[in-house]
Amino acid sequence: MTPIESLLELFGNFTFRTMILSTGIIGAVSGLLGSLLYLRRQTMISDVIGHSAIGGVALGFITCTALLGIDGRSVLTLTISAAITTAVAVLLTNVITRFSRLGSDAAMAVTLAVFFGGGLVLLRWIGHSKLPNRAGIEKYVFGNAATLTGEDLTTIAIIGVLAVAVVVVLFKELMLSAFDPVLAATMGFSPRILQPILLVTVTTGIVIGIKAVGLILMIGFVMLPAAAARQWARRLHTMTLFSAVIGGLSGMVGSILAVHLGRVPTGPIIIVVLFAAFLVSLLASPQRSVLSTWLARRRHRLAGEVAA
Amino acid sequence: MTLLAALALLSVVTAVTCSLPGVFLVVRRQSMLVEAMSHAVFPGIVIGALVSGSTRSPLMIVLATVLGLVIVVGADKARQSGLVTADASQGLIYPVLFAIGVALLSTQLSSVHISENAVLAGELNLLALPTERWIIGTTDLGPQAMWPLLLLLVIDALFITLTYRVLVVSAFDPNLARTMGLPTRTVNMALMVLVSLTVVVAFNTVGAILVVALMIVPPATGRLVTNRMGWLIFVSLAIASVTALLGLWVAYLGDLATAPMMAFTDGVVFLIVLLVTRLVASRRRALPA
């Protein structure tokens, strides 16, 4: 069987198709949002979002199963509770930075202590409790794309499209406020409206990956495509587009590789693929890279020697 | 020694050993470096455990510590290349190292005894069990896992005593430190080695991810109440001990996970202290002079 045939066969299988499509969408959406965070120099906040989401998963599960009596393991309920919790986590980080003499770095560590530490305490409690459907809830920390259902894929696709729509509609405003927040405010794009929209979009867009790729490695999904795309693009809209494409392709390639290798979780393999893409971009992109700088220097030196 | 006494000893020693180097990271505003390092050392721990068959071998500690330093050196190189933004340089390297660690762990699960749970939350409770004690003759010297941490605490304390002036000046005014001709580069690198070593040694008790909370939050809380470096160290260690005992006590009563509860307590205590200091400050402002 040729590689293409085996790939087609893989795609014909429902589980694998769900996996590959989901990781592709997750990769593309986090790549898209990552380019906005990357330019705002707010990259470590995606680490806080990823880790704090575990508190949201635990709280959401308890609310759904104990209070509302519904299955707390679907992507929709997980995404809603994680997005709310991580938005609170980001706000808490900002509040600490504003009201103390500590840097945002220490504020992030405090947020992690509260939300990640608290989340782990709750997860362990759920594990010992008698709540229904509790089996497997702890797996969301590392993620497992093979557990995704068709319904989960629909949720991921809808939320993904919504996140893309927000970024496309507000692109000009978001770009301006990333490069020059003061100008954006004077032009009438109120940060009071823009910031919450960006916050909700970013947290929701990042946490849809929970079930498929886990929480811990989210920062890689957000940053690696953006940093790779930056090497190939000179303008923000091309960078954002490249970042989404690199993220989406790496997501799909990574999950195909994970299926072929067997026994390995999907998230980490996608991260390795994304890192490879980043490394190639850093070393060898035509306009700005380690290789192009070296060649330019060499040309200059040779030109100098010829002139002498 | 009762189980509770062993648990209390191990928790307090872990918390204190972590927060001592954390003091300097907080004042240098490099807290998230711990987060990057604690993820980066993970493949070193897995490979070291694969090769040596234990998570306590010296080989594993050396290998993992070196990987932690890859973050420091790699981030410097990436920044110098001018191709990635400064805050991104750490965050680009550690996800892939952690990913390699997780992938290795999942394929070699049968030969390495590191559970996913241990990676997330450590095994503080297991390490305090009577079978994990260091017993000489009939004397019970407490949990074995406590002694490497104590040794590291002594090394940290010696290092800080010897280089105190350089550490303090370079934390608050790096330019002044260089002008004064102080060996800032060497001392900074040595501090980074100790931070990486702390992350690795603390892995067995608290896992790979909670360590950032234990290292940074007690000094951050201390920073809310004092401006003086000597006091800050003292207050941070005191807060670390108290929150460790408090966290352990709550976890023990409620049958909850110990290390995550310690981290959570650290965070809650920080928020309470922040609230109180802000209230006191605004009260003072409101009173007529």
pLDDT (average), residues A61-78: 78
Q: How far apart are CA A53 and CA A55, in angstroms?
A: 5
pLDDT at B281 over 80: yes
What's the pLDDT band for A68 if we cut at 50, 70, 90? Answer: confident
pLDDT (average), residues B263-271: 96
* Topology (CATH level 3) of domain A15-307: ABC transporter involved in vitamin B12 uptake, BtuC (1.10.3470)
A174 min Cα distance to partner chain B (Å): 19
Q: How far apart are CA A107 and CA A47, in angstroms?
A: 13
Question: Which of these, A272, A148, A295, lies nearest to A209 by C-alpha position?
Answer: A148
Q: Across the interface, which of B32, B81, B102 has its CB nearest the CB of A105?
A: B32
Q: Domain extents for chain B? A: 3-122+144-211
Is the pLDDT higher at A199 or at A87?
A: A87
Query: Which chain A residues are within 8 Å of B90, Cβ to Cβ?
Result: 44
User: Which residues, 6 or more positions from B152, have their beta carbon under 8 angstroms from its beta carbon?
Assistant: B17, B194, B197, B198, B201
pLDDT at B190 over 90: yes
Look at residue B109 in the predicted model and tell me its pLDDT.
61
Query: Which chain A residues are within 8 Å of B104, Cβ to Cβ?
Result: none
DSSP class of B83: S
**Number of residue pairs across A and B with CB atoms under 8 Å?**
199
pLDDT (average), residues A36-46: 79
**Pairing state between β B133-136 and B139-143:** antiparallel
Look at residue A246 in the predicted model and tell me its pLDDT.
96
B100 min Cα distance to partner chain A (Å): 7
Q: Do A275 and B95 touch (CB under 8 A)?
A: yes
Instruction: Round the average pLDDT of chain B to a whole number and report it.
Output: 87
Mutate to test the interface with A, among B26, B217, B278 (most CBs of A within 10 A): B217
What's the pLDDT band for B111 if we cut at 50, 70, 90? Answer: low
Query: Which chain A residues are within 8 Å of B117, Cβ to Cβ?
Result: 138
With a CB-CB cutoff of 8 Å, which residues 33-92 of chain B face chain A? Answer: 34-35, 39, 78, 81, 83-88, 90-92
Q: Do B81 and A43 touch (CB under 8 A)?
A: no
Look at residue B288 in the predicted model and tell me its pLDDT.
64
Look at residue A177 in the predicted model and tell me its pLDDT.
75
Q: How far apart are CA A76 and CA B115, in angstroms?
A: 29
What's the pLDDT band for B110 if we cut at 50, 70, 90? Answer: low
Look at residue A146 in the predicted model and tell me its pLDDT.
77
pLDDT at A10 over 70: no
pLDDT at A72 over 70: no
With a CB-CB cutoff of 8 Å, which residues 200-239 of chain B face chain A? Answer: 209-210, 212-213, 215-217, 219-220, 223-224
- Comparing A276-290, B139-153, B266-280, the range with the smallest average pLDDT is A276-290
B140 min Cα distance to partner chain A (Å): 31
What's the pLDDT band for A282 if we cut at 50, 70, 90? Answer: confident
DSSP string for residues in chain A: --HHHHHHHHHHSHHHHHHHHHHHHHHHHHHHHHHHHHHTT--HHHHHHHHHHHHHHHHHHHIIIIII-S-TTSHHHHHHHHHHHHHHHHHHHHHHHHHSSS-HHHHHHHHHIIIIIHHHHHHHHHHHS--TT-TTGGGGGT--GGG--HHHHHHHHHHHHHHHHHHHHTHHHHHHHHH-HHHHHHTT--HHHHHHHHHHHHHHHHHTTHHHH-STTHHHHHHHHHHHHHHH-SSHHHHHHHHHHHHHHHHHHHHHHHHHH-SS-HHHHHHHHHHHHHHHHHHH-SSSSHHHHHHHHHHHHHHHHHH-
Q: Do A128 and B255 touch (CB under 8 A)?
A: yes
Q: What is the ipTM of this complex?
A: 0.92
pLDDT (average), residues A113-117: 95
Q: Domain extents for chain A? A: 15-307
Instruction: Round the average pLDDT of chain A to a whole number and report it.
Output: 84
pLDDT (average), residues A84-89: 93
The tens digit of pLDDT for each residue in A130-150 reads: 777 776 666 777 777 777 888
DSSP class of B142: E
Look at residue A28 in the predicted model and tell me its pLDDT.
95
DSSP class of B131: G
The region that residue B255 occupies, defined by phi over 0 for left and psi between -120 and 50 for alpha, beta otherwise, is: left
pLDDT (average), residues B139-164: 90
Look at residue B241 in the predicted model and tell me its pLDDT.
97
Contact assessment for residue B181 and residue B121, using Cβ atoms and an 8 Å cutoff: no
Look at residue B71 in the predicted model and tell me its pLDDT.
85
The tens digit of pLDDT for each residue in A174-203 reads: 777 777 777 777 777 777 777 788 888 888
Q: Name the token pair of B8.
A: 């209390």
What's the pLDDT band for B266 if we cut at 50, 70, 90? Answer: very high
Q: Across the interface, which of B81, B106, B216 has its CB nearest the CB of A106?
A: B216
The tens digit of pLDDT for each residue in B48-104 reads: 888 877 767 788 888 889 988 988 888 777 777 777 766 667 788 889 999 999 888
